[in-house]
Structure formats: structure tokens, C-alpha cells
Structure 1
Amino acid sequence: MRRVEHVMGFPVSLRVDDEDVPGSAADAVFGWLREVDERFSPFRPDSEVSRLDRGELSESGVSADLAEVLGLCEHYRVATGGAFDVRLPGRGLDPCAVVKGWSVQRAAELLRAAGARRFVLNAGGDVVASGGPWRVGVRHPEHADQLCTVLALTDGAVATSARYERGDHIIDGRTGRPATGLLSLTVVAPTLTEADSVATAAFAMGAEGVEWAASLDGCEVFAVDAERRVLRTEGFPTAGEPSTAA
């Protein structure tokens, strides 16, 4: 089974190699992601996030899903000393950095519940994989047609935060300025909820975020800093390709 749709502002591709998984499983995955976009997008004025931001909802009155997301946001705000913050001064509530990984991980759990054991779900370059090993390329932070490393992913997730797609869009909440200490940072973790949130939170911290992310249980890190030096944890699952940014 293979399927690609544009959801939440980026392409989402699904590949399932199990022959007995029904097509309804893919329907459930993309239906869930569309629901997430409707409920949690800060760019939709009628979303639950927008209504909370305008004060039309109290935090005690939000859905269980949004409460979970906001709890994750607060966890990473505290863990990074405020570098990661979804409530920046002068900006509306924007939990997208957590919502993406959290929702795609939930979609992967829908696949497993439907009997899928060997699959890859790729959401705008952030990947949940099962039944590998799968080879996942990490884009070079300065050259779109090159990879800076390839990793082998069996059961787990990988996410990258970088400046190459949207410029200096990740803000260090401690300073209110764009985080510029890194060119890209990739995290491998057991779930995409962790991988995506940790990658963004660590990127917001700048160079010190590499060591912070590497200290977390289950996380392996590959980063390229502003001086184009490669920083990689010993357990990062490279698949044998050169891992330089030069």
C-alpha cells in the first residue's frame, strides 16, 4: 500500500509492506491528520487552539488531546529553561512544533492497531518506521540535492529541525531572537512525539541543545553547527555513508 496526501501544509507519504492491511487503515491515518489540522492549527480561526488563544476557552475546558499537547509544550519549556516556548511575546499560541510529531505518532499507532508491522510514515521529512531496517536520508543543510548522512531505522522515529526550509523561524524564547547556533539538528528517538519535540527544542537552545538532546534517554543526535562542524552521538544509527557537511 502506498499513498501520498498534502496535509497540515506538507506532503505526507505512507508505505505499508504488509499485504493483509486494509485500505481503510490509510483512510484512518489521513482522516486523523486532517482532523488534527482542523482542531489544532493556529492558522485556522475556528480551531480549538485559536479559540483558546482568544480566551474563548479556558485551559481547563480544552479537549483531552489538546491538554496532552499543552502538557508536552510545558514540559519542554521547563526542560530547556524557556528556550522552547509556544507562547512567545507578541505572537499567538503556536504548538505546531509538538502537534506534528504527536499527531503522526498517533497515526502510526492507528496503523499498528490495523495490523501493520512493516511500514514507513513520512510527514514532511519526519519519519516513523516499523519493521525495518529502513534507510532514511538526512538532507544537507546547505545543498538541497545532497545528503549529509543516511541512517538505518528499524523501529522508531527521526526528525530534523533546520533553517533551510523556512529560514530563521525557530525562536529562542530566552532572548526572543531567532536561534542561529545550528544549521540543522536530527534526533532519533523511540517515538516521533519525542524526536520532533526534542529536535525543535534543542535547536531553539542553539549549540548547547546538542548536548541537552544527547543526554535524554533513548535519543541519538546528529547536528551541523553554524561553523559547519558535525556533532554526532556515538549511538546514532548511521548506515555507512559519509557523515560530513563539507
Structure 2
Amino acid sequence: MKRVEQVMGLPVSVDVRDQGDHRSSIERVFAWLHEADRRFSPFRADSEVSRFDRGDLTVSELSDDLLDILMICDHYERLSGGAFTARIPGRPLDPNAVTKGWAVQRAARLLEADGLKVFCVNAGGDVVTSGEPEPGRGWRIGIRHPELRDEICAVVEWSDGAVATSASYERGEHIFDGRTGRPADGLLSVTIAAEDLLRADALATAAFAMGDEGIDWAASQPGCAVLIVDTDRRVHRSSGLKLL
């Protein structure tokens, strides 16, 4: 069973390969993602994120979920030496680099809680996978070419984990280096495969924000595999990343 909806400004697909009728499980996934978008989008004036940013809410009034998101943002800001941040001076609070991965990973856990074993949740190219869609074969994830809109630069095979890509081709210069406050440069795209999408997405964004130094930094993170294209069109790849 497969379903696609526009959520969080992205096409999100849920592809379930377990036998049976799983429409109710998929419905819960999309209900949760729409809820997360309403509550945490910095682009919605009535979201909890926007209300907190305006000063309409104090820290003591925040939900446990938003407190969790902000704590995770702070963790990756420290881990990246300040390159990753949700708080660029002069710009609205924007925890999206954590929120999307956090929300989609939780959506995958809803499927797991319903006993599903073989599925893929794809949120605009950031993907959570479980099981094998065919015996002996993992899920095949296309990585968009960073400069050619309709081209794929690589296909990654991955099972029981997540793959996330950060680049500027969809939203323009939306990733900033928190150390300078300027748009990140030095890299065209960063793809990271990890055990869950929250970590893969946050690390990919942090590495992209770091520029050239993000190449070695990302490769040094435990339990991760990377595929990075720099502005000289050189490809940097972990040996543990299976490409087809």
C-alpha cells in the first residue's frame, strides 16, 4: 500500500509492503505529520514555534515536544561548534532541520507500533526504511543531482535506518553557518545514512553549514555513512555506503 500527501511543504510518501490492509496505520501517520506541521512550523503564525519566538509563550509554557526539539537543536549546535543553529541573529527561530527528521522518525515508530515490518517513509527525499522490500535487497533511494533538477547523481541501498540530504537546490540559501550568520558555502550537497532520520537530517544540515570542514566532520560521526559533493564537483563517500 502506498499513499502520497503534501505535508510540511513537501511531498511525503508512505510505502508499506506488509501483507494486509494498513490504511488505518497510514492514516495515523499523516494525521501526526499534519499535526506536527501545525504545531511546529516557523512559517505558520499560530504555531507554537512562532508564538514562542514572538514572546507569546514562555519556556515554562512550552509543550514537552517543543522542549525536546529545542534541546536537540542545542545538542547539534554544540556538536558542530555553532555551525548548526536554529537561532540566526535577525531571523525567526527555525528548528526545521530537527523538526522534520524528528516528526518523520516518530511517524515511522507509529507504523512499528502497529506491527509493520517492511515500509519506507519518504519526506521530500529524506527517508526512513524498515525491512527489505524484496528478499536480499534493501530499499533503493535516489539522491538528486545537486545541479541538474531532473537527474539522479546516485542511488543508495539502505535497510532499517534512514538517509537524509541537505542542499540548497529546493529552498535556495536556507542553510546558514551559525558562526558567521551567512549562507553556508563550500558544499553542493550532503547525504548521510544513519540509524534514524532525526540524526541523519541534523548531521547532514550541520555538515552542510560547516562547508569544507563538514566533510571530515561528518565522516567522523559514529554509525554514519556519507556522500558529499563539494563546490569543485568532487565526490566524497564513505566505504560503508552501498551505491547502485
| SS state at 1:157 partner | strand
Count of matched residue positions in the alignment of Structure 1 and Structure 2 = 239
The answer for the alignment partner of 2:75 in structure 1 is: 75
CA distance, structure 2, for counterparts of residue 215 and residue 65 of structure 1: 29
Written as runs of structure 1 = structure 2, the 5 A alignment for 1:164-243 is: 164-239=169-244
Measure how far apart 1:192 and its partner are: 0.3
Equivalents in 1 of 2:77, 2:58: separation in Å? 20
What SS class does the counterpart of residue 67 from structure 1 fall into? Answer: helix
| Partner in structure 2 of residue 87 of structure 1 | 87
Q: Distance in 2 between matches of 1:75 and 1:21?
A: 40
Q: TM-score, normalised by structure 1?
A: 0.95
Superimposed CA distance per residue, residues 162-191 of structure 1 (whole angstroms, 9 cap, x where no aligned partner):
121122221111111111110001000000
* Corresponding residue number in structure 2 for 1:243: none
1:122 equivalenced with 2:122 (yes/no):
yes
> Match for 1:59: what amino acid?
V
Segment drifting more, 100-109 vs 226-235: 226-235
* SS in structure 2 of the partner of residue 97 of structure 1: helix
* % identical equivalent positions: 60
- Specify which of 128, 133, 140 is matched with residue 135 of structure 1: 140
Mapped to 2, the partners of 1:108 and 1:21 lie a distance apart of 17
Q: C-alpha deviations, 1:86-110, integer Å up to 9, x for none?
A: 1111011111111000000000000
Amino acid at match of 1:216: Q
Q: Secondary structure at the match of 1:184?
A: strand
Aligned residues: CA RMSD? 1.0
The one-letter code sitting in structure 1 at the alignment partner of 2:223 is G
Deviations 1:6-62 (A, max 9, x none): 011011011101113531101100000000011001111111111111112222321
Which residue number corresponds to residue 135 of structure 2?
none
Contact between 1:21 and 1:115, CA under 8 Å: does it hold in 2?
no
Counterpart residue type for residue 231 of structure 2: A
Question: TM-score, normalized by length of structure 2?
Answer: 0.95
In structure 2, the residue matched to 1:161 is: 166
CA distance in 2, matches of 1:145, 1:54: 39
Aligned to 1:45: 45
* 1:100 paired residue number: 100
Question: Which blocks of at least 5 consecutive residues in structure 2 are unaligned?
Answer: 133-137
Distance 2:150 2:48 in 1: 38
Q: Does 1:62 align with 2:67?
A: no
Moved over 2 A (4+): none
Q: Is the 8 A contact 1:21 1:114 kept in 2?
A: no
SS in 1 for 2:157: strand
